[in-house]
Amino acid sequence: MHLLILGGTTEARRLAEALTGPSAPAGLRVTSSLAGRVAAPRLPAGGEVRVGGFGGPEGLARWLREHRVDALIDATHPFAETISAGAAQAARTVHVPLLVLRRPAWAPVPGDDWHRVSDLPEAAATARRLGRRIFLTTGRMGLAAFAHLHDAWFLVRSVDPPEPPCPPHLEVLLDRGPFTLDGERDLLRRHAVDVLVTKDSGGAATAPKLTAAREAGVPVVLVDRPSLPPGSQVAATVEEAATWARRRS
């Protein structure tokens, strides 16, 4: 059996390692695919790896046929909407079973001051209404939505340097999670942050910023996740996804 994992997340790496380790099913071939948007991606310790796009749903369907893929797991970022839609279309085209691995979304707790929005332009408008020193952790690809805010200062954290257009007043912090609570507390304090803007990515690696914001009384502008393709079969944990794959091997 040949399993293709659309990856780039912690869960995707853990899944590939779980399915290629000592307890892996006999005869299971695992290939992890990374989009190649990060200069130095973290690679899974087991299985084969390919880097780069497929050329849309048609290209992915062709790759699935040519490489005789028997099952497909979409373990991409919760905001990789285009990739997830393309995976669903390609899987239907070639009649390959598809599972979506998605970590649960974050849930507010007492004391949180969350302002949910549907997209980045709405996040920009909401953040500017709430403050002027904005900690932006939405990734390097979406800064254009904030570029018109000339009277606000931004701390932008991303793995790779952001690409223009960018807000005129910003400081870039190149870093990669997981982040600690003490580190996030210090970051908010040192930079006098009065608004945090982030996507509802879920997971533990970047969640400490939410706790630090709650403790400091900093409002959070939270961009809601895009919807999954209709009819998606979803696993919430690596263990669930690994069980799904083993049953098909």
Report domain extents, the chain: 2-104+227-247, 114-223
Q: Same fold for the domain at 2-104+227-247 and the one at 114-223? A: yes
CATH fit for domain 114-223, picks 3.40.1130, 1.10.3470, 1.10.10, 3.40.50? 3.40.50
pLDDT band at residue 23 using 50, 70 and 90 as cut-offs: confident
Averaged pLDDT, 191-213:
96
What percent of the chain lies above the pLDDT cut of 70? 99
Per-residue pLDDT at 147: 96
pLDDT band at residue 141 using 50, 70 and 90 as cut-offs: confident
pLDDT tens-place string over residues 211-244:
999 999 999 999 999 999 999 999 999 999 999 9
pLDDT band at residue 22 using 50, 70 and 90 as cut-offs: confident
Please enumerate in sequence order all residues whose Cβ is within 8 A of that of 67, keeping only pairs 6 or more positions apart, or say none.
2, 4, 31
Calculate the average pLDDT of the chain: 95
Segment of 6-10, 158-162, 219-223 carrying the highest mean pLDDT: 219-223
Averaged pLDDT, 84-89:
98
SS3 assignment, position 218: coil
Residue scoring higher pLDDT (142 or 210): 210
pLDDT band at residue 200 using 50, 70 and 90 as cut-offs: very high
Averaged pLDDT, 54-65:
97
pLDDT tens-place string over residues 105-122:
999 999 999 999 999 999
CATH fit for domain 2-104+227-247, picks 3.40.50.720, 3.40.1080.10, 3.40.50.1980, 3.40.50.150? 3.40.50.720
Averaged pLDDT, 59-83:
97
- Residue 37 clears pLDDT 80, i.e. is over it: no
Averaged pLDDT, 201-211:
93
Task: Classify each residue of 187-218 as buried b or exposed e, where b means 16 or more C-beta atoms within 10 Å of its C-beta.
Answer: bbeebebbbbbbbebbbeebbbbbebbbeeeb
Q: How far is Cα 137 from Cα 148, in angstroms, rounded to an integer? A: 17
Nearest in space to 226 (alpha carbons), one of 108, 86, 78, 35: 78
Please enumerate in sequence order all residues whose Cβ is within 8 A of that of 110, keeping only pairs 6 or more positions apart, or say none.
none
- Residue 100 clears pLDDT 90, i.e. is over it: yes
Residue scoring higher pLDDT (172 or 205): 172
Per-residue pLDDT at 242: 96
